[in-house]
Amino acid sequence: MNYTFQFGVAFDVLPQLLEGAVLTFQMGVVTFAGGSILGLFFAALKTYGNRPLRGLAQAYVVFFTNTPALIQIYFLYFGLPEFGILWDNFVCVMIGLILNSGAYLTEIMRAGFLSVRATEMEAAEALGFNRLQQIRHVIVPHIAKTIYPALANFFIVILVMGTSIGAVVGVDELTGQAINLSTENYRWLEMFTVAAGLYVILTLVASIALALFGRWAFRVKAKVF
């Protein structure tokens, strides 16, 4: 191999790559939060809704899990302008990612809904909780604990695989920033090696933080390493 790595170049642009990493992290958090709200809503429809509502939730899940996130984002970015709706690239990516992850999170959350014991619900009802209060005080804390490991895993998926799609429509998150810098300095290999390293650091930090938070908040017996 004749290639000579010149990481000096990478260190020069490290601040820009770090900026990208911060944006990646922010996009991951917002996507996860938005997707979780959608997921909770559609999982509730699928579990407690009548036939048409269950059908609606099912259609949402099938549509968004059976088509690539990239196509969904292209549709918003290149398709909607044909109908006179012009959103900027960042908005398109975020809406696309939230809709896409919401569909996966619906199925994760639904597993949580199904694991709530009927007897706890009855106790709550007898104590005077209405349906919304049951969801808030009994179901959500219960499923948060039960499906926490699955949720934490999915957050990592969003963080690494989800957000990097933004690069394709010019969002300057970590992957996008690495592409931008490479086209300027032609040090593709260095840029992407450092970017990959930053992704590893991001996911490690996130995994440890999530495991510690899970232990503290939900008594989840998660291993930190």
User: Contact residues for other proteins (CB under 8 A)?
Assistant: 117, 119-120, 122-130, 133, 137-138, 141-142, 145, 218-219
The residue among 48 and 63 lying less far from other proteins, judged by its C-beta, is 48
The residue among 47 and 133 lying less far from other proteins, judged by its C-beta, is 133
Q: How many CA atoms lie within 13 A of 32 on its CB side?
A: 21
Q: How many CA atoms lie within 13 A of 83 on its CB side?
A: 7
Report the nearest approach of other proteins to the CB of residue 216 (Å): 14
Report the nearest approach of other proteins to the CB of residue 41 (Å): 21
* Cβ 160 vs Cβ 199: under 8 Å: yes
The residue among 55 and 137 lying less far from other proteins, judged by its C-beta, is 137
Report the nearest approach of other proteins to the CB of residue 214 (Å): 13
Report the nearest approach of other proteins to the CB of residue 22 (Å): 34
The residue among 88 and 120 lying less far from other proteins, judged by its C-beta, is 120
Q: What is the distance between the alpha carbons of residues 140 and 146, in angstroms, rounded to a whole number?
A: 10
Residue 22 CA, distance from chain mean position: 15
Q: Which residue has the tokens 């291993």?
A: 223
| Interhelix angle 14-48/188-218, nearest 10 degrees | 50
